[in-house]
Amino acid sequence: MKNRWMPALLLTLAIALSMTNGAGSAQAKTSKERDAACLSPKMVQLKSDMQKAWIDHTIWSRSYIVSALSNRPDQKDVLERLLRNQQDIGDLIKPYYGEAAGNKLADLLKEHIQIGVKIVAAAQAGNEADVKSLQADWRRNADDIARFLSAANLNWTFKTLQDLLYTHLQLITEIVLDCLKGDWKGDIAATDRNEIHMIHLADTLTEGIVRQFPEKFK
């Protein structure tokens, strides 16, 4: 008797599960559509521009390291392009914090690059004392950047930005050391990690700006 009703029972369960899964898919789709609707074109544009600027930062930083350590003739031109990238990043915050603030950030980032240039030269020369001293300057500059940005936007805490910047310094140091040792796989791995990390930094900055100036992203 039980066996006679089993097919019908199984069919009923199958239909119920199908309806449940369909409802779940519809809810997931609705959730995704809602999230997409929350991202205005202006938000998407800032996110894209910020990510590109910081990815460029990783690309041209490594390009300079390779050029300098290889004594390539393009070293000066690559450095010029790298420094221009710092101005690009500063320009991105000008619509929100003004011309002077954007140029101040660019100047701090250019100092970050110039210290890095000296570290590469000292590391190539095997001057460990200079490298250690310059790395202290590098961290001091990172503190200055974190302090400047956190003062402009309460959504960016000093500690969060400091940690992000210090991690970037560590990854750049790994790239320099790997290149000096000829550890190309290590260099590539550190470069990949640095790119992902810089995208995270870029998104942190974008999210902070959107939260502080929601009216600009409607």
Longest CA span, the chain: 90
pTM: 0.81
Contact 119, 134 (CB under 8 A): yes
C-alpha atoms less than 13 angstroms from C-alpha of 142 in its C-beta half-sphere: 19
Q: Give the C-alpha separation, 149 to 32, whole Å.
A: 32
Provide the pLDDT for residue 27: 55
Positions in the chain short of pLDDT 70: 1-37
Q: Give the C-alpha separation, 38 to 31, whole Å.
A: 11
Q: Give the C-alpha separation, 155 to 160, whole Å.
A: 10
Out of 3.40.720, 1.10.287, 2.60.40, 1.20.120, which CATH number does the structure's domain 41-217 have? 1.20.120
Provide the pLDDT for residue 39: 80
Provide the pLDDT for residue 5: 52
Q: Give the C-alpha separation, 109 to 116, whole Å.
A: 11
Provide the pLDDT for residue 28: 52
Q: Which amino acid is at 3?
A: N
The residue ranges of every structural domain in the chain are 1-38, 41-217
String of DSSP letters for 122-144: HHHHT-HHHHHHHHHHHHHHHHH
Q: In terms of C-beta density within 10 A (0-12 exposed, 13-18 middle, 19 or more buried), how is residue 54 classed?
A: buried
Provide the pLDDT for residue 1: 46
Provide the pLDDT for residue 10: 46
